[in-house]
Structure 1
Amino acid sequence: MSNVTLERNPSVLFIESDPVLAHQVSLDLKESGYEPVLATDSKTGLDKAIELQPALIIIDRMLAGESGIELCAQLRTKGNRAPVVLLMARDTIEDRVACLEAGADDYFLKPYRSEDFLRLVRIYLQPETSPTEQLRFGDLVLELATRRALRNGRTIELTMKEFELLKFLMEHPREVLTRDQILENVWGYDFMGESNVIEVYIRYLRLKIEDETQKRLIQTVRGVGYVLRET
């Protein structure tokens, strides 16, 4: 009898009440080498997320009976740390802030486009780096394998997008990065319309890595962008 263990493809839980969209997304995920798991309502989605521990969770914001944002908040309350992407039909400041506050890592705007969607999925399911690889700036350390930060020995848990943003800043210390550079390198896919999404994520990063007793590291360069440097 063979002792070889077959490695499973990364599982993606898709919580969507529209059967047509659910079918299309499932086909796209399978063709791209992922293992889709479907749920049509929030309760089933929550149960499957807890039972299966998928590598990525995608939730439609407009679920019947309960919003995707409420479901995302429940997942985080129960300790689920898998990346969560919300599908949204509109892009407003209120929606983006609500996504972040619920614990979502990102969002994808409808209408559904296979190429853009799969590009986003690949960002979150890319292979892990070496367990020992780190970035350092002053007393701030970013562990690339665990996707967490440490400052003065204090562990800081980051969402996937917070990690990617901080990583980009730490890869270019003391270099002023424009908003366009950040959008292109951190989001990595077509970003439609004028958005303050960077400002929202910068604010959340500052709340996590900077307290009243520590130096501010992420500096705003008005009219240009941001820079990682000590004052």
Structure 2
Amino acid sequence: MDILVIEDDPHVAAALRRGLEAEGYSVEHAADGLHGLQLALRHTYMAIVLDIMLPGVHGYRICAELRRAGVHTPILMLTAKDGEYDQAEGLDTGADDYLCKPFSYVVFLARLRALIRRGGTRDTVLRADDLWLDQSARRCGRGETEIRLTGQEFAVLHCLLRSAGQVLSKLEILDDAWDMAYDGDPGIVQVYISLLRRKVDQPFGRRSIQTVRRAGYRLTADGA
């Protein structure tokens, strides 16, 4: 998806989707803060359009959580709160721009395009030794060799690379890489760890994805 819209007003959300899709963007929508936060942490977008007054988790917290997690996707806040302190709080929590409702769609689109242009200059590649993962292009490889991953494999590897050197439990990986509605066996994490090892480690004589007994998994740069 190109653009994530986190907006609880169905009329505003529908209008933004129609306008953005008419401009050639693909749009994913979340109607509450928690769902929006989880999507933004799990997937890579060109930009996020974020309302402040949301059910579940408000926009300020979403913005702060994303920046704390190392997500640098450009964020355009849309809100009915137009006080200067509200704008300052939004920018201080990590938003890139702020637009008050009601707003001109022409101005909105111009602001969004400007954010996307600036955001495109950021380095979106995670690395550990010669293992790399391009978050924007959804590509992965070792050195010059590209590795084809499924969507779920990509999500698990992204989780490990983003926390390279740290031990992550099965539940932590499950929370990060699977949809919130998943209520199956946590052992699915072990299955995907095995699949990843067959693709990113074994063909290259590496052991970068390590099992830490009774604790979880860790990805290390020195995995030869």
Q: Distance in 2 between matches of 1:128 and 1:28?
A: 21
1:114 to 105, 122, 138: 105
Q: 1:74 aligns with which of 65, 74, 98?
A: 65
- Relative to structure 1, the CA distance from residue 146 to residue 66 in structure 2 (aligned partners, 3 Å threshold; closer, same or farther) is closer
Residue 41 in structure 1 maps to residue 32 in structure 2: yes
SS in 2 for 1:125: helix
Cα deviation digits, residues 127-178 of structure 1 (max 9, x gap): 888xxxxxxxxxxxxxxx448xxxxxxxxxxxxxxxxxxxxxxxxxxxxxxx
State yes or no: 1:87 paired with 2:78.
Answer: yes
CA offsets 1:19-53 (integer angstroms, 9 cap, x no match): 11111000000011111110011111111112221
Q: 2:6 aligns with which of 6, 15, 18?
A: 15
Tell whether the 8 Å contact from 2:2 to 2:45 is kept in structure 1 after alignment: yes
Question: Residue 186 of structure 2 corresponds to which residue in structure 1?
Answer: none
Distance 2:29 2:85 in 1: 28
Q: How many residues align?
A: 123
SS at match of 2:117: coil
C-alpha RMSD of matched pairs (Å): 2.0
Return 5+ residue gaps in structure 2 as ranges.
124-224
Give distance in 2, aligned partners of 1:30 and 1:95.
30
Paired AA for residue 74 in structure 1:
E
Displacement after TM superposition at 1:74 (Å):
1.0
CA distance in 1 between counterparts of 2:13 and 2:36 reads 13
Query: Are 2:8 and 2:55, in contact at CA under 8 Å, matched by a contact in 1?
Result: yes
- Look up the equivalent residue of 2:64 and give its one-letter code: A
Question: What is the distance in 2 between the residues matched to 1:128 and 1:116?
Answer: 18
1:51 maps to a residue whose letter is R
Q: Contact 2:21 / 2:27 at 8 angstroms: preserved in 1?
A: yes
2:56 to 62, 65, 69: 65
The question of whether the paired residues in 1 share the 8 Å contact of 2:7 and 2:29 is answered with yes
Instruction: Please state how far the C-alpha of 1:114 moved relative to its aligned partner.
Output: 1.7
**Residue in structure 2 matched with residue 96 of structure 1 by the alignment:** 87
* Cα distance change, pair 65–50 in 1 and its aligned pair in 2 (3 A): closer
Shift of 1:111: 0.6
CA spacing shift, 1:26–1:83, aligned 2, 3 Å: same
Percent of residue pairs identical: 33
Equivalent residue letter for 1:78:
A
Name the CA shift for 1:89/1:37 in 2 (closer, same or farther; >3 Å). Answer: same
- Unpaired segments of 5 or more residues in structure 1? 1-9, 130-144, 148-231
TM-score normalized by structure 2? Answer: 0.51
> TM-score under structure 1 normalisation?
0.49
CA separation of 1:127 and 1:89: change in aligned 2, threshold 3 A: closer
Once residues 118 and 88 of structure 2 are traced to their aligned partners in structure 1, the CA distance between those partners, rounded to angstroms, is 29
